[in-house]
Structure 1
Amino acid sequence: MSSTETFARSDAPIESDSTTIPAELAWQQADDDVFVATSQGEFAGFVTVDRSIHIVHDRHSRRIGSYPTLADARQALVDATRPPSRRRERLRRRILSRRR
């Protein structure tokens, strides 16, 4: 079992009330075929390797998808952990209010 720490960073910032901070995950290799991600010290998800397929799971162990490379899998988790933009959230609320 080895311990290798790397970071995956998204180009898009996370919007918060006062500042914008980059979406950043710290990665640890837990086993030969398991990579675990944390965000600000909290568990964020993991990637398992099954032959040549990299399977991504979120922080609730729900499967996000399968990817051909570890880099693609890590980016998928970064994208999944990014909160929705304010514009997208307003659109979602507007659509939901029309359904009522």
Structure 2
Amino acid sequence: MSSTETSARFDAPPTTSPTAPLAWRQADADVFVATNDGEFAGFVAVEQNAHVVHDSLSRRIGSYSTLAAARQALVDATRPPSQRRERLRRRILARRR
């Protein structure tokens, strides 16, 4: 596998396959694009010494020092919350009311 293509297993939103790998392609010298089951999932743009991650709607997720960290951030951002975490979030929000 080349440095411009890699895959990471992740749980995707319902519109994509949860078992499909996140596929990466280098679109330009400083842009890496991710797809999931052929659908655009986001991209990483290299800006000076930072790797800036954007989701499928081009919303900025964050800035990372390495390409690997940036790719993982996109995987993490597209992963739906676990049921346990969602229950905890609901309990916390219910206490604030």
Instruction: Give the TM bin, normalised by the shorter chain.
Output: 0.7 to 0.9
Q: CA–CA distance in 2 between the matches of 1:8 and 1:76?
A: 13
Which one-letter code corresponds to 1:77 in the other structure? L
**Following TM superposition, by how much is the alpha carbon of 1:90 offset from its aligned partner in structure 2, in angstroms?**
0.8
CA-CA distance at 1:99 after TM superposition: 2.8
In the alignment, the residues of structure 2 paired with residue 5 and residue 22 of structure 1 have an alpha-carbon distance, to the nearest angstrom, of 21
Unaligned runs of 5+ in 2: 13-17
Q: Quick check: 1:59 aligned with 2:63?
A: no
Moved over 3 A (4+): none
Offset at residue 32 of structure 1 (A): 0.9
Q: TM-score, normalised by structure 2?
A: 0.78
User: TM-score under structure 1 normalisation?
Assistant: 0.76
The answer as to whether partners of 2:44 and 2:53 remain within 8 angstroms in 1 is: yes
Q: Look up the match of 2:43.
A: 46
Shift of 1:8: 3.2
Match of 1:18 in 2: none
CA–CA distance in 1 between the matches of 2:57 and 2:28? 20
Question: Once superposed, what is the RMSD of the aligned Cα atoms?
Answer: 2.4
Structure having the higher strand fraction is 1
- 1:14, distance to aligned residue in structure 2 (A): 3.1
Unaligned runs of 5+ in 1: 16-20
Q: How many equivalent residue pairs?
A: 91
Q: Deviations over 1:8-47 (max 9, x none)?
A: 315xx639xxxxx557311111111111111122211100
The 5-angstrom pairing of residues 71-86 of structure 1 reads 71-86=68-83
